[in-house]
Structure 1
Amino acid sequence: MNFQHRKRIIVQTVDERGSVDVGELAQLLQTSEMTVRRDLVQLASSGLIYRTRGGAMKVSLATDKHTFANKTAVNAERKDYICQLAAQEIQEGDIIFMDCGSTVFRLCQFIRNKRITVVTNSLPVLSELMDSTVSVNLVGGEVDKERRAMHGLIAEEHIARYRAHRAFIGVDGISLQNGLSANGEKEASTATAMARQTEKVYLLCDSSKLETDKYLYFAPLSLFDVLITDQEAKPDMMTAYRQAGITLIN
């Protein structure tokens, strides 16, 4: 496959998904990751994509690429599908944890009319559920303006005071070999704190994050009880996850 053909596929994929990893593109193009990285450098220099660590992002999202709104917009359809499945797991009267992940945030629209209690460190979740039937318990602590969430020692102590029926957490990367990984320590510490205080942990993870390793490894696969992903996940990968003993919903 020549560069022009690869260029068209890369630009189209980034435009559709918002962001994409080098490994995903290498599989899609049936070429080496080295070739993909070289292509991304050329496309970025032409202004067609925005180069990120480990992949590429849509230029329109990269203007302020770390804002919560932009993270939420990436792979929105996949995230909504995942959250519809997650909402079906929640019973009336449940107490649930919701972390500050962009996928978890999209669960709000599907639980607004449930009579449940949500304990969260996410300011967007608080805002979204304020005028709903849901009771919200906002975790205290230091405000992370970039993530629009509460983090730190006080936040972890707050979480430790409560017990929940279910926890819904996000992750930046998951692999059968290495477990769960994150882009930073703050998200990782919140996820593990919530997992310790709940009866059942649901990992909400769109298929682009499967078999992906990020900056910080923070927990084994045993941290969660159920993995909820989307229909774009490859069948052979889903088989491998189930054979590894993972309860999977997609």
Structure 2
Amino acid sequence: MLFEDRVIEIMKYIKRDGSVTTKKLVEELNTSESTIRRDLVELEKIGKLTRVHGGAIRKRVHSEEESLDDKFLLNKNSKEKIAKRAASLVEDGDSIYLDGGSTTFEMIKYLKGKDITVVTNGINHIFELMKNDIKSYVLGGYIKKVTGVVLGAQSFENIKQFSFDYAFMGANGIDNKKGFTTSDLEEAKLKAEAISLGQEVYILADKSKFGKVYFVKIADIKDANIITDEALENIAEDIKEKTKILEV
């Protein structure tokens, strides 16, 4: 069976069932496991599906975001390691932007004692920064309750006043083709502006973010470096050709 014919059959299962196993494809298409694996790699590269252990699943576009409380509970150990590595990059005299998010929040305790200036749109962040005696500015605007961040036209205008040695950002999804994505249009706009203002930009993301695509694009992969606990081999290989990935 030709590659094009196998693709039609593979996508039929993906669209109908949402997932398919490598074993099933080997049996149904009467071909080798190595051939099916290569087919799935090619289909993932062009954004048709996401490979998982033992097969593949439908490529999903996520439109909803977890609450901040939920985010704090997810992959906490990984976030601690990522945050500590990110904070180690910051030196006395630096001006940095901390995007509102659970992993950037974890950075703050590791910044204590450094002579730095921080700008943030995170409501929880500003209280933690005050507690750790770090000079800080908070952007103005309205508060998005579910994630505890400040957004809107005022925050977008505020941030334009600054330039940053480092911008430490969050993203809900990281995909080689779709780039860094999130679920909220206004968050994406503010994040993109912060990225443009940073001399060095790092997306802080645990391995669960790789291969996911959310509703709104923030930036291309080449626009920011990544700090992660584990860069999934099948996804990160192509990403590493476009940007730097620091693993902790």
How far is the alpha carbon of 1:66 from its aligned partner? Answer: 4.2
> Does the Cα contact within 8 Å between 1:99 and 1:190 map onto a contact in 2?
no
Counterpart in the other structure of 1:241: 239
In 1, distance between residues paired with 2:242 and 2:137? 33
Q: Match of 1:107, SS? A: helix
Q: Corresponding residue for 1:8?
A: none
2:168 corresponds in structure 1 to: 168
CA distances 1:29-48 after superposition (whole Å, capped 9, x unpaired): x24537xxxxxxxxxxxxxx
Structure 2 equivalent of residue 103 of structure 1: 103
Quote the Cα distance in structure 1 between the aligned partners of 2:88 and 2:82: 10
1:126 corresponds to which residue? 126
Report the alpha carbon displacement of residue 72 of structure 1 after superposing the two structures with TM: 1.5
* Distance (Å, rounded) in 2 between the aligned partners of 1:218 and 1:85: 23
* Secondary structure of 2:100 counterpart: coil
| TM-score, normalised with respect to structure 2 | 0.72
Cα gap change, 1:33 to 1:84, in 2 (>3 Å): same
Sequence identity of aligned pairs in percent? Answer: 25
Which has more radius of gyration? 2
Q: Does 1:27 align with 2:52?
A: yes
Equivalent residue for 1:190? Answer: 190
- SS of residue in 1 equivalent to 2:131: coil
Show the counterpart of 1:209: 209
- The residue type equivalent to 1:181 in the other structure is T
Conserved in 1, the CA contact under 8 Å of 2:191 and 2:218? Answer: no
CA distance in 2, matches of 1:33, 1:237: 14
Contact 2:100–2:149, Cα closer than 8 Å, also in 1: yes
The number of residue pairs the alignment matches comes to 198
CA distance in 2, matches of 1:246, 1:31: 28
Shift of 1:148: 1.3
Q: Pairwise CA RMSD of aligned residues?
A: 2.5
Cα distance in 1 for partners of 2:198, 2:228 equals 21
Measure, in 2, the Cα distance between the counterparts of 1:118 and 1:159.
12
State yes or no: 1:76 paired with 2:44: no
Instruction: Name the CA distance, whole Å, in 1 between partners of 2:229 and 2:127.
Output: 26
Structure 1: state its 5+ residue gaps: 1-22, 35-52, 55-64
TM-score for both structures, normalised by structure 1: 0.72
Once the 2 structures are TM-superposed, how far is the Cα of residue 131 of structure 1 from its aligned partner? 1.9
What is the letter of the counterpart of residue 227 of structure 1? I
Q: 2:56 and 2:169 mapped to 1: Cα distance?
A: 33
User: Which AA in structure 2 matches 1:222?
Assistant: K
> Structure 1: how far apart are the matches of 2:136 and 2:78?
26
Aligned to 1:47: none
- Cα distance, 1:128 vs. partner? 0.9
Query: Do structure 1's residue 155 and structure 2's residue 164 form an aligned pair?
Result: no
Matches of 1:222 and 1:138, distance apart in 2: 28
